[in-house]
Structure 1
Amino acid sequence: MLQRIGGSKIYIGTKVALPTDLRVTLADFTAQESEWLEINGWTNSGPLGDARAAITQSFIGADRDATIAGTANSPAMENVFAPLPTDPGQIRLRQAVDGCANYAFKVEWGAGCASEGPVTISVAAPGIVTWPGGHGLAAGSPVIFEPEGGNLPTGLTAGTVYYVRETGLTPTSFSVSATPGGAGITTTLAATADEIIATAQPAGETDLFYGIVLSKSKNGGEANAARMATHSIKPNTNIVEV
């Protein structure tokens, strides 16, 4: 399915320690949920993904080379930003350039197309989210609930990322789990909120990784060209796709 770049958002989290095997899982980003800062002023995104080294061996009898995949490496993601000196996300990004620490990063592709609307959540095992008019979500889509004028049903926490479950998924309702494909979350006491707003990204359109900010440069240009800043973000782990 096509997804536009417009509306995408990039976030920087806190300093992190690289795992010894250079691999991260979704659970490694749970602590970042309250730490993300959007880096505003994003005007151009570099590509993000792994490339594998090619190991090639020539075979005399076959008169041909055979190639196998070697180690994985993520090229640096070259991002262009309009300079915003007081933006908290850009401040943290500039601080990352001056140090040698790795940081947590999150990219929400096409976040401007995220589904958002009022929902109700039942008290049940698992609790059922009802989205009037339909939600358009697939199993695995990340979703956040924000209550207005009260609390969510007991069992759910405002601002926490949950995941749409395949079991019981209908065009207008679903249950959620704490991890993709996990067990449904039971709700107990009913919500006291006047309204609950759900916001959900399409499945597969959120990328998470640990990386280091290698450089910052300012462009030149003609008199009528806007001055921009380029930041090179180098992933040092695998990229978790949610």
Structure 2
Amino acid sequence: MLRLWTTGFLMIVCWSLWSCKKELSAEGSPTTVTLQFTNKVGLAPLTLGTVYTNATTGEQFDVTTLKYYISNVQLISKNGTFTNAPSVYHLVDASDTTTASLSFTASPDSLIALSFLVGVDSTHCANGPRTGDLDPAKGMFWNAAQGYIMAELEGISPASTQPGYAYTYQIGGYTGPNNVLRKVTLALPGLPVTARSLFADTILISIDADVDAWFSGPHYLPISSNATCTTPGALASEYADNYARMFVARNVQVK
């Protein structure tokens, strides 16, 4: 009988300690939040150099370059308050798998959605600092007047009228009516969840990015009509409208 009582008591103590650890992790220390991006074409994972067919335009194309900046990340709680991620300026590069995720620490009390900017805000475009993923050596910086290439898509398509059937989209411009900065807000599946009851050490948010959205969305932009866009302007703004819709939050894991 004593042995059973002792075993039960130890189980209660262990459960209490585990619960306290979870509670303290949620309330007393920041949580690590990781955004994991998976580039796709439709339902298929993106593989550079592979030929795909756009479901809307019917055009065949491959992708040799896909890059985009993610910045100004905010976590949105169920009461509408925002938790800002500290100084996140991250370049996702499809040719480098190590860039597919970004992590930061935050202390949200609950979570139903997140938002981020596709691109680099005007302050950093004009004034820097230009370090890390904002380093001009990354090949994404034009100049202080035009700022950064916010997103880039290049490849080959038989629909292109350019030499070598190439298509090139380098989308930039952070001022004026054709500003290409786009804020994306994603509802998170399976939430809301109260951080105090569930959040532990890590929140992993998986996000799909569908290249097909570049060509069709609010604007129908087939490669045959527009094989090149490399300067700020109205066309660049339309591409930004389109690719802002390529992001979908697929799932959330709490560890």
TM-score normalized with structure 1 length: 0.22
> Which structure dedicates a bigger proportion of its chain to helix?
2
